[in-house]
């Protein structure tokens, strides 16, 4: 990249203190949303922040909101600081701003990257209108252990799905041009393998093979950077003993040298400071030196860079050229965002007021919500329900709840617009007097006489909608669970309702896969409804009454039991696989099957689909050739519906043990009753590649199984052979 003369001119005038200032991002105390978060490291008040901005000692602020105050702060930077370098305003805008969309895990269930693009674009419009330039999203950690609370922020357990959603979200946030007033800079996080924390315990250590790192956890980051992300956030965890925030091999050798990343690496919240708690750095000065020399450009919130970099430069322990490189990256980011041309971009109070409530975004929230709902089970076609002539009992702590609609990591949602489940159902019903509503219990506590009242309502009804699940504070940062089950009181409620014999449809609110048992597992119907955001009630009502035919598929496997974690469909083969009718001395648990209760990719529709065996253009794929696969899918039911057609492969013999199946492509198609489509896929050897024992990423010739199926555990394979290349 040729040097930008404006940036070089600035650099030549900057003092060390001003340079270091550009590398610090601090909580915005001028327009704070939660000033009590980690007050230990917060600057005390707005005046202190403004004084630092005036002195050129702060380059970016985060998690403040509001165009007018943002503009006033920007004016201090631009007009009152010596060099007038504009501030960059960052924030955690994860799945919506004022309008809240489904949690990322839920949205991934749609298997519609275009949907993620649209919600990210809408989020960018609202966030930039509220004075934010830079989001700390998408979170693209692969989540294979459902005990981990941050599964909710991810796209789940699969590599391909995560890559595709990562790229869609980056494009959606950033739009066509980074300097447009509605472009929100994306920050894929957390680099890297944060989802692999041992035992699903947040912040825990990560001991991982190079191959798993490369084949599972790194690809979504490569996809996000290829889609144009210019910043990346490091993870809290260590990787094989070296904390991610001071990991030179990852931040420099891989990111810069191998991947040629030219953007900015920012720490997670005080993750440079945490090098001390890790026992990796002796003190603050040591932590600063280790993090910076490893390749961490910006320090979030600890203040370590501001405090210790000048001295480290002075002593020669850190070369000035290295400092200049980091500052150049930050200034280039600001330039790319158009801030040098217009420091007041995205800081227009009128625009903010006009963006406060956009009906199109409310509609999008509803559409995204219903497209995220997975119909896990529907025995006897219990769902959809009729809008009249049926007595419905809506029971459970989620029935009227308004405090657990948005899901974790929603800092700025407009709560006044949230629509709860009861309201959504009532609005959809033709005669609302057919609906009785009883909470039965709280999320975690019993209500006096609650179960008795719920049982009476169930007895008097034709059908029960049992709205249960996790409260939203079970998900998100630092919210790991030992048992991924429903709280006891809710399980007890479900058991009591089941005793009435009235058919039950479970409406399951959750931020992770749960191990469903007893009356919940055995209910006639189950809908996984995640946390859907602003339009929760209407989105669920659309599915309950069949105005929308459910089309989402699981982005994570639902196990039988918590003890199966980490549990994911694409696990490596073992030497003793379980066989039909032979379980002893096989890979199995004593207490339950090692299949999923509901596998990755699973989801039902109100119609049904039939697949023919896939037809391959050849069964002998030449090394440089492309295989064309075609499968015929027919809607055999009586409703229009969408099907997610999934292509999996399995490499039979390789120099490294390969997963039992891997998703390689998918297509979502819409079919009218009786309609047939030929769904085409292409495959080449690059899609069959993996990191071998020698570290080489390549495919190996040999036989592969291939499935075109509706889920990761169904279908019959056909085989093809990848022929060797000419030497």
92 binds ligand BGC (CB under 6 A): yes
Packed helices 113-129 and 159-174: angle between N→C axes, nearest 10 degrees: 30
Please, which residue, 131 or 538, has the CB nearer to ligand BGC?
131
Please, which residue, 90 or 550, has the CB nearer to ligand BGC?
90
Nearest approach in angstroms of CB 37 to ligand BGC is 8
Nearest approach in angstroms of CB 117 to ligand BGC is 21
Task: Assess whether 427 carries a catalytic annotation.
Answer: no
136 binds ligand BGC (CB under 6 A): yes
Give the strands of the sheet with 88-91, arranged side by side. Answer: 134-135, 88-91, 60-62, 24-27, 299-300
Cα–Cα distance, 187 to 685 (Å, whole number): 31
Cα–Cα distance, 399 to 372 (Å, whole number): 19
Please, which residue, 169 or 553, has the CB nearer to ligand BGC?
169
Cα–Cα distance, 609 to 138 (Å, whole number): 33
Nearest approach in angstroms of CB 193 to ligand BGC is 14
Please, which residue, 63 or 564, has the CB nearer to ligand BGC?
63
Q: What's the first-to-final CA gap in the chain, in angstroms?
A: 37
Contact partners, residue 36, CB within 8 Å, separation at least 6: none
Contact partners, residue 407, CB within 8 Å, separation at least 6: 95, 100, 102, 103, 106, 152, 472, 475, 511, 530, 531, 532, 533
191 binds ligand BGC (CB under 6 A): no
* Token pair recorded at residue 27: 């909580």
165 binds ligand BGC (CB under 6 A): no
Please, which residue, 136 or 418, has the CB nearer to ligand BGC?
136
Nearest to 592 by CA among 613, 578, 611: 578
Nearest approach in angstroms of CB 136 to ligand BGC is 3
Please, which residue, 60 or 644, has the CB nearer to ligand BGC?
60
Nearest approach in angstroms of CB 74 to ligand BGC is 21
Nearest approach in angstroms of CB 150 to ligand BGC is 8
Nearest approach in angstroms of CB 661 to ligand BGC is 31
Count of residues touching ligand BGC (by CB under 6 A): 7
Please, which residue, 477 or 561, has the CB nearer to ligand BGC?
477
Nearest approach in angstroms of CB 477 to ligand BGC is 5
From the CB of residue 655, how many other CB atoms can be counted at a distance below 10 Å?
11
Catalytic residue among 268, 297, 367, 401: 268
189 binds ligand BGC (CB under 6 A): yes
Q: Which of 477, 495, 561, 721 binds ligand BGC (CB under 6 A)?
A: 477
141 binds ligand BGC (CB under 6 A): no
What phi and psi, each to the nearest 5 degrees, are found at residue 661?
A: -155, 150
Q: Reply yes or no: is the peptide bond before residue 192 cis, omega within 30 of 0.
A: yes
* Alpha helix segments (H runs only) across 295-401: 304-314, 320-336, 349-355, 359-372
Nearest approach in angstroms of CB 195 to ligand BGC is 12
Nearest to 234 by CA among 269, 201, 190: 190
95 binds ligand BGC (CB under 6 A): no
Please, which residue, 269 or 568, has the CB nearer to ligand BGC?
269
Q: Reply yes or no: is the peptide bond before residue 207 cis, omega within 30 of 0.
A: no
561 binds ligand BGC (CB under 6 A): no
268 binds ligand BGC (CB under 6 A): yes
Task: With residue 287 as reference, give the H or E element that holds it.
Answer: helix 284-294
Strands (E), 337-495: 374-378, 392-395, 435-438, 463-469
Cα–Cα distance, 5 to 54 (Å, whole number): 24
Task: With residue 113 as reference, give the H or E element that holds it.
Answer: helix 113-129
Residue matched to tokens 């509609």 = 363
Q: Which of 89, 221, 261, 269 binds ligand BGC (CB under 6 A)?
A: 269
Please, which residue, 269 or 666, has the CB nearer to ligand BGC?
269
What residues between 20 and 79 interact with ligand BGC by CB under 6 A?
A: 63
Residue matched to tokens 């370098």 = 85
DSSP 472-485: GGGSSTT---SS-S
What residues between 218 and 247 interact with ligand BGC by CB under 6 A?
A: none
Residues that bind ligand BGC (CB under 6 A): 63, 92, 136, 189, 268-269, 477
Active site residues: 268
């Amino acid at each position: 990249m040729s040097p930008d003369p404006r940036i070089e001119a600035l650099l030549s005038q900057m003092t060390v203190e001003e340079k270091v200032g550009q590398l610090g991002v601090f909580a915005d105390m001028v327009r704070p949303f939660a000033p009590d978060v980690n007050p230990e490291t917060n600057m005390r008040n707005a005046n202190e922040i403004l004084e630092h901005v005036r002195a050129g000692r702060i380059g970016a602020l985060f998690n403040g909101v509001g165009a007018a105050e943002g503009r006033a702060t920007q004016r201090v930077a631009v007009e009152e600081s010596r060099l007038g370098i504009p501030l960059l305003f960052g924030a955690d805008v994860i799945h919506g701003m004022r309008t809240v969309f489904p949690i990322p895990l839920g949205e991934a269930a749609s298997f519609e990257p275009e949907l993620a693009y649209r919600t990210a674009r809408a989020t960018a419009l609202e966030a930039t209108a509220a004075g934010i330039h830079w989001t700390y999203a998408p979170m693209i950690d692969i989540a294979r252990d459902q005990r981990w609370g941050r599964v909710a922020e991810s796209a789940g357990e699969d590599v391909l799905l995560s890559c595709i959603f990562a790229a869609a979200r980056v494009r959606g946030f950033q739009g066509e041009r980074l300097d447009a007033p509605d472009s929100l800079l994306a920050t894929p996080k957390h680099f890297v393998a944060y989802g692999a924390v041992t035992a699903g315990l947040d912040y825990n250590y990560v001991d991982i093979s190079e191959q798993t790192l490369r084949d599972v956890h790194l690809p979504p980051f490569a996809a996000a950077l290829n889609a144009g992300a210019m910043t990346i956030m490091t993870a809290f965890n260590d990787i094989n003993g070296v904390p991610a925030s001071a990991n030179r091999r990852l931040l420099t050798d891989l990111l810069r040298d191998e991947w040629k990343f030219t953007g900015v690496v920012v720490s997670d919240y005080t993750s440079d400071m945490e090098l001390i708690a890790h026992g990796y750095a002796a003190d603050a000065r040591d932590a600063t030196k280790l993090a910076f020399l490893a390749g961490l450009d910006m320090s979030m919130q600890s203040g370590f860079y501001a405090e210790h970099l000048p001295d480290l430069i002075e002593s020669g322990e850190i070369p000035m050229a290295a400092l200049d490189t980091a500052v150049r990256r930050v200034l280039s980011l600001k330039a790319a965002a158009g801030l040098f041309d217009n420091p007041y971009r995205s800081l227009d109070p009128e625009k903010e007021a006009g963006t406060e409530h956009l009906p199109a975004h409310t509609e999008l929230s509803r559409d995204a919500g219903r497209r995220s709902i997975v119909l896990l089970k529907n025995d006897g076609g219990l769902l959809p329900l009729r809008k009249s002539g049926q007595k419905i009992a809506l029971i459970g702590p989620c029935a009227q709840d308004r405090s657990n609609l948005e899901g974790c990591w929603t800092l700025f949602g407009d709560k006044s617009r949230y629509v709860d489940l009861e309201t959504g159902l009532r609005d959809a019903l033709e005669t609302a007097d057919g609906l009785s509503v009883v909470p039965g219990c709280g999320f975690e506590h019993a209500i006096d006489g609650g179960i008795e009242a719920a049982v009476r309502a169930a007895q008097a009804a034709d059908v029960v909608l049992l709205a249960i699940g996790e409260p939203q504070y079970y998900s998100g940062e630092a919210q790991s669970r030992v048992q991924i089950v429903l709280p006891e009181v809710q399980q007890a409620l479900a058991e009591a309702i089941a005793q009435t014999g009235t058919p039950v449809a479970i409406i399951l609110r959750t931020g992770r896969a749960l191990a469903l048992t007893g009356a919940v597992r055995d209910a006639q119907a189950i809908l996984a409804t995640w946390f859907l955001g602003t339009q929760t009630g209407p989105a669920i009502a659309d599915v309950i009454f069949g105005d929308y035919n459910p089309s989402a598929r699981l982005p994570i496997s639902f196990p039988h039991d918590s003890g199966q974690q980490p549990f994911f469909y694409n696990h490596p083969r073992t030497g003793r696989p379980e066989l039909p009718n032979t379980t002893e001395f096989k890979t199995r648990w004593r207490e339950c099957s090692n299949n999923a209760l509901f596998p990755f990719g699973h989801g039902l529709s109100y119609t049904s689909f039939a697949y023919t065996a896939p037809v391959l253009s050849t069964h002998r794929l030449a090394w440089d050739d492309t295989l064309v696969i075609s499968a015929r899918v027919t809607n055999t039911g009586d409703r229009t519906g969408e099907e997610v057609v999934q292509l999996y492969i399995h490499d039979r013999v390789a120099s490294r043990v390969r997963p039992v199946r891997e998703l390689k492509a998918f297509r979502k198609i819409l079919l009218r009753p009786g309609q047939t489509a030929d769904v085409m896929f292409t495959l080449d050897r690059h899609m069959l590649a993996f990191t071998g024992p020698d570290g080489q990423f390549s495919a190996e010739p040999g036989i592969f199984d291939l499935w075109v199926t509706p889920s990761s555990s169904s279908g019959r394979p056909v085989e093809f052979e990848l022929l060797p290349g000419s030497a």
